[in-house]
Amino acid sequence: MRRLLLAAIACLALAAAHAAALEPGVSRLELRAKVLELAVCGGQLYVAYDNGSIIRYELPSLRYAGVLLSLGGAKVVGMGPVDDYSLAVALSDGTILVLDARTGHEVFKAELVREGEELERAVISGRRVVAVVKYRYSGGWLDRLVVYDLSLRARVFERDVYSKDRLVYVFDVKVWGELLLLVYIDTTCEICKLTDTLVDVYNMTDFTKLFSKRLGECIADLDSSAVVAVNVRNGKGVYHSFTGVEREFRVEGEPLDVRVRGGVGYLLLKTSEGVSLSRVTRSSVIPVDDYEEGLRISFLGGELLVAGVDYLYVEGSRLRVVNLIPPQRPARALEYEGGVVLLYGKRLLYSVYLQAKGLLIVRTEPGARVEVRPGGYQTVANESGVACLKLAPGSYEVWVSKEGFAPSLREVEVKPGDETEIEIPLTRAGAGPQNATLKVVVVDESTGHSLSATVYVYNGSRLIAIRPIRGECFISLRPGNYTLRVVAEGYEESNITVSLKPGLREEKVVRLRDVVLRVCTVPEVTLRLVGEDGVVLEPASREGNCLVFRRVPPGNYTVDVGESCEANVTRIVVGSSGVNVSVQVECRVGEANAAEVVRRLASYVVISRNTTGSMPRELLVVRDIDDEVVRLDRGVIVLFFFYTKCPGCEVLLSRVSGLEKLGAEIVMVSPSIYDTRESLDAYRASKNLTWHVVLDEGSRLTRALNISSFPTVVVLEDGEVRYVGVGAAEEVPQLAEKLLSALGPLAEVLEDPALISALIGAAMLAWAAATWRRGFKGLE
């Protein structure tokens, strides 16, 4: 009895030593549709998809909790909690919906935009909706900042170009309680964002301005105590406390992200050695840590979390990210009580959370071997027959064995920070044949990840069905021959045979191959599959003219080729094995006025010329950064050649957007020497673009059309080149004005390579406009 008491005391001492210890845990969810917005309300995660659905997930597990709402044509441009029970959703048509977060029932609806306005994006926090709306100004589009109060159902604040405190373009908006942070520019010279970008902070109780600083292109963050902003090009920054203390600083390296918590700024920098994290206070900038890679800062409880493409760094731990192929960058971080949700690209969610380990106390025969699955934990019971293990919360199978005894298996649930005690007695082996033990491990064949599956065991007839815990299970069976049938949704079922011998343990690893549906289209187009429950499946990849859908659950699917196309196959039935389907597609080309498109473009560019020529046949079908097919041989296409760091391109971008109303399709093209898929995806998200964005690998399109200046627009009609325009007309006078104002502080200009490039470009465009009106010669 004394020994048993001492063993129990030892286990309790182990529990006390680690009672306060919290360790990071992760949940991963790979999605079938693209994510537009995320929000946390009432302890659940709400995800708005591009297919119009809003789905609820449990936190921190990311388990599916149900469909909240299915929308029509309008897309979600903002979403956030009003309180613990209400969720507000902003739609691209200017509507604000306030919903019951549990049922999806509409509480009320309001129109945020007025005539002539278009809602671009919205940040929702509590009763306030902070929105950026577009409106027409001198033939182009400018930004208007609008604050809408849901309790008053009215606008309570506006800023635009007509305001005394001018606002032209909004680059970033953040809300912390009653504080509003705004990163913007007050001139229509959008290239001037390099030097003239401002950061303002408002108190939204009365909209008094607490802080304003002109920093140039920058990143910024705030909390209730301070704001920190830093120029992304020269590393100059400012720390401002709302008590009135302000300090300027400068850092070495490329600023990647900045966050403020507890009045302290944290700045992530890309350096020649990797990535470093610095702490910014009112008195100093202190290097804190170095990482192999990292792109985004979050806070997990009171700890810093640095998220990269391959790893998550938190509390001295490095957690591996099982990323998509190709790997995606952490595009967004959303903090909730006790955790952080990270969105990688548009289709991968990670929930990172802190959890207290539980203590499992096993009472059995002295000297017995205790194994815990999953995890592969092993220990031996002490002389008192007690074994103690610290385990993360979750479900486990405990297997106890000892020579001369029949093994025994128990399932157990370990709770965070709690003690779980179980007794597993062993019986001595008799003279008859002992049972055998079968361990089954179920994994994905391509990734090696454990799978949620069902294992059916047959011996002439079905004996049992068991669901492995995190891909592993133990089964005690009489000696003999058995057949295992392993089934998992979205995977081909597997059947294997196994021979079990008395008293021995056999292990079988079952690798399941995902159900692959190949839809080969003629001609090469992009399509989607819509399930009977309304869930939309997007293709995972493309092989030639075939779209590849992976892990497709059994069911009937409707083939969606868009409103302007028809397919000879409208439904596809998927079972438990792969399917290959051929689909003939016919698309109607919409009527577009090419002459009007050219006329409009001519007024937007510096160099303008009508021309004729044929595109190389092999370049008439390209793929965008989402691997979707883009056909350039049908209808009127505007190819917009740009790169993400091109200031003049942004000037022309707002003008070109209006061409869609004329029936033209806009395709943005960036040469691979300037950009990557990741930089283009980030640019598309920041500009809220819905057009195809193409990475011109090897600059094939760029070279074929002899593009040498940016921006350049090329108009195609049924695959034939009709027009070429070079430069942004608005950019020349703006840059000339900028050049004159910059000649004074010349030293400052020479520190900024982007500004030097812009000034040289302005001079070249002005010279070209005056002396070389013959324009583009690429196809002659």
Cα 599 to the center of its chain, rounded Å: 39
The 3-class SS string of 506-574 reads EEEEEEECECEEEEEEECCCCCEEEECCCCEECCCEEECCEEEEECCCCEEEEEECCCCEEECCCEEEE
Higher pLDDT, 13 or 38: 38
Out of 351-360, 537-546, 728-737, the most confident range is 351-360
Tell me how far apart the alpha carbons of residues 59 and 341 are, in angstroms, rounded to a whole number: 9
Window from 88-102, 575-589, 722-736 with minimum mean pLDDT: 722-736
Q: What is the mean pLDDT of residues 671-689?
A: 83
Which one-letter DSSP state was computed for residue 282? S
| Tens-place pLDDT, residues 106-137 | 999 999 999 999 999 999 999 999 999 999 88
Out of 69-78, 263-272, 556-565, 597-606, the most confident range is 263-272
Q: What is the pLDDT of residue 473?
A: 80
Amino acid at 328: Q
Window from 77-81, 95-99, 514-518, 761-765 with minimum mean pLDDT: 761-765
Binning pLDDT at 50, 70 and 90, where does residue 743 land?
A: very low
Window from 48-57, 142-151, 456-465, 696-705 with minimum mean pLDDT: 456-465
CATH number of the domain at 359-508, please? 2.60.40.10
Which of 574, 560, 563, 568 has its CA nearest to residue 526? Answer: 560
Amino acid at 671: P
Q: What is the pLDDT of residue 740?
A: 44
Q: What is the pLDDT of residue 208?
A: 96
CB 779 within 8 A of CB 613: yes
* Sign of the dihedral defined by the CA atoms of residues 99, 104, 105, 111, in that order: positive
Q: What are phi and psi of 17, to 5 degrees?
A: -65, -25
The percentage of the chain sitting over the pLDDT mark of 70, rounded to a whole number, equals 87
Binning pLDDT at 50, 70 and 90, where does residue 652 land?
A: confident
Tokens representing residue 404 in the block: 């001369």
Tokens representing residue 375 in the block: 């995890």
The percentage of the chain sitting over the pLDDT mark of 90, rounded to a whole number, equals 43
Tokens representing residue 494 in the block: 């597997």
What dihedral angle (degrees, nearest 10) is formed by the CA atoms of 360, 364, 365, 368?
A: -40
Question: Which residue's entry shows tokens 């209400």?
Answer: 86
Q: What is the mean pLDDT of residues 154-172?
A: 94
Q: 516-587: which CATH number, 1.10.530, 3.40.630, 1.10.760, 2.60.40? A: 2.60.40
Q: What is the pLDDT of residue 25?
A: 85
Tell me how far apart the alpha carbons of residues 542 and 702 are, in angstroms, rounded to a whole number: 24
Window from 20-24, 494-498, 767-771 with minimum mean pLDDT: 767-771
Assigned CATH class of 594-771: alpha beta
Asked if the domains at 359-508 and 516-587 fall in one CATH topology, the answer is yes
Element of type H or E holding 303: strand 303-307
Window from 230-239, 592-601, 750-759 with minimum mean pLDDT: 750-759
Higher pLDDT, 434 or 179: 179
| Tens-place pLDDT, residues 368-424 | 999 988 777 889 999 888 999 988 887 888 989 888 888 888 888 888 888 889 998
Domain boundaries, the chain: 359-508, 516-587, 594-771
Q: For the range 318-327, what are the long-range contacts, defined as Cβ-Cβ under 8 Å and sequence gap of 24 or more?
A: 319/24, 319/26, 319/352, 321/350, 322/28, 322/447, 322/449, 323/348, 324/30, 324/348, 326/677
Higher pLDDT, 9 or 87: 87
Q: What is the mean pLDDT of residues 17-21?
A: 51
Window from 116-125, 233-242, 720-729, 731-740 with minimum mean pLDDT: 731-740
